[in-house]
Amino acid sequence: MHDVAITGTGVFTPSQVISNQELVVAFNKYADLWNAENAAAIEAGMVEAKTHSSSDFIVAASGIESRYVLDKEGILDPSRMFPQLDGRSDDEPGYMAEIGCDAAQKALAMAGRSAADVDLVICAASNMERAYPAIGVEIQQLLGAGGFAFDMNVACSSATFGIQTATDMIRSGSIQSALVINPEICSAHLEWRDRDCHFIFGDVATAAFLERNEGLARDHFKVLSTRCATQFSNNIRNNNGYLRRTHDRMEDRRDMQFMQNGRKVFKEVLPLVSQHIADHLADTGVEASTLRRLWLHQANKTMNDYIGKKVLGRTPEPDEQPNILQDYANTSSAGSIIAFSKYSNDLDNGDRGLICSFGAGYSVGSVIVEKG
């Protein structure tokens, strides 16, 4: 068995930002337009008028202040409310491959490695832009890497499940290194016209390079232990797939985008995640009090505050549990890796931390690391 380390991480951040204020102005214009168009039906009590969104609600309910997106114009156009990301031709790189490559190259540069050092590419994300060929294989080709590649989807937990998969292969000796890449174009599977969730997501891509921990000259994080768990729930769901019910028109199906029962998610996922982390730490013999930092999934500030307090048994200092969701919003599987990538350089040798992501499935994945 071989020891494994994360030697590089990378983040692709889109250049376009939408503040809560801009988002709410666009949403409210859309709601006014819709109400005007449906005035007679509203008057007759056949449909409910759409109510305005509010920046204050968004910050208070989620902690989100802005989000990065690949196309701001289409999202903020009140007559469209959807990014203008036309499907690419078969001869062009896909969007996910393009942004995934950017993050992967940054991770390789940090690790001091090149594409020739990559044995495996896993594209682990919550939604794929096509069924096949795998996005991972396209990224492998764009990078010029050898070996093999595949896609995996465990929604918001995809990154940690990908890290466990890569770690197990490196440990067993079937590969020496892997890139786990999380391109998340959440803006393309979010219903921007739904007030309850229009503020939740943003776009980003992250990557982590893992390799055998043998004679590493550079800074790295040893992977001490990984653990994944799932428990079926319909409370976060997207029904977009290849089956249709007779006479259904895709554009009439709200369930073809992200749907959630946010309150239930809140109530059910928090105990699941807290217990998962407690069990993982206990079984690995790592005391929570020795953890220098938690890099948690970035969906909701209140959720992270709760989990941090449960894990450490006290309110974590901001530097012990850094949040990035105020700037990036929820970026699905990428969130905990953005936090890890941006807030890990200052740790000292021997410092331990925990990466944890959770979400639809339900699913939860945790990775205990130690700076080496």
306 binds ligand COA (CB under 6 A): no
| Residue among 156, 186, 228, 356 flagged as catalytic | 156
CB of 230 to ligand COA, least distance (A): 14
CB of 150 to ligand COA, least distance (A): 23
Map residue 179 onto helix, strand or coil. Answer: strand
Residues 78, 93, 262, 372: which binds ligand COA (CB under 6 A)?
262
Residues 179, 236, 325, 339: which binds ligand COA (CB under 6 A)?
236
* Cβ atoms 223, 211 nearer than 8 A: no
Nearest to ligand COA by Cβ — which residue? 262
Strands 148-152 and 120-124: parallel
CB of 352 to ligand COA, least distance (A): 26
- Is 228 among the catalytic positions? no
Q: Residue 227: which residues within 8 A CB-CB, separation 6 or more?
A: 164, 276, 279, 280, 283, 365, 366
* Cβ atoms 9, 210 nearer than 8 A: no
* Three-class HEC string of 44-90: CCCCCCCCCCCHHHHHHHHCCCEEEECCHHHHHCCCCCCCCCCCCCC
Please report, for residues 137, 140, 358, the alpha-carbon distance to residue 132 in angstroms, rounded to integers and kept in the order given.
9, 14, 26
Which string of b and e fits 237-262 if b means at least 16 CB within 10 Å?
Answer: ebeeeeeeeeeeeeeeeeebbbbbeb
Identify which range of 6-14, 202-210, 297-305, 338-346 contacts ligand COA by CB under 6 A: 297-305
Identify which range of 94-102, 145-153, 261-269, 340-348 contacts ligand COA by CB under 6 A: 261-269
Copy the structure tokens of residue 344. 């890990």
Considering the complex, state which of residue 164 and residue 235 has its C-beta at the smaller distance from ligand COA.
235
Considering the complex, state which of residue 141 and residue 326 has its C-beta at the smaller distance from ligand COA.
326
Considering the complex, state which of residue 103 and residue 236 has its C-beta at the smaller distance from ligand COA.
236
356 binds ligand COA (CB under 6 A): no
- Helix, strand, coil shares, percent, the chain, to 5: 40, 25, 40
Binding mask of the shown chain, residues 117 to 146, with x at each position contacting ligand COA by CB under 6 A: ------------------------------
Per DSSP (E only), the strands in 119-202 are: 120-124, 148-152, 177-185
Residues 9, 13, 20, 62: which binds ligand COA (CB under 6 A)?
62
61 binds ligand COA (CB under 6 A): yes
Q: Residue 169: which residues within 8 A CB-CB, separation 6 or more?
A: 120, 175, 178
Identify which range of 102-110, 132-140, 256-264, 279-287 contacts ligand COA by CB under 6 A: 256-264
260 binds ligand COA (CB under 6 A): yes
Instruction: Report the alpha-carbon distance of residue 115 to residue 181 in Å, rounded.
Output: 14
* Cβ atoms 169, 134 nearer than 8 A: no
Copy the structure tokens of residue 303. 């959720």
Site for ligand COA in 176-205 (CB under 6 A): 195-196, 199
Residues 28, 35, 54, 141: which binds ligand COA (CB under 6 A)?
54
336 binds ligand COA (CB under 6 A): no
Residues that bind ligand COA (CB under 6 A): 53-54, 57-58, 61-62, 156, 195-196, 199, 236, 260, 262-263, 265-266, 299-300, 303, 330, 359-360
Active site residues: 156
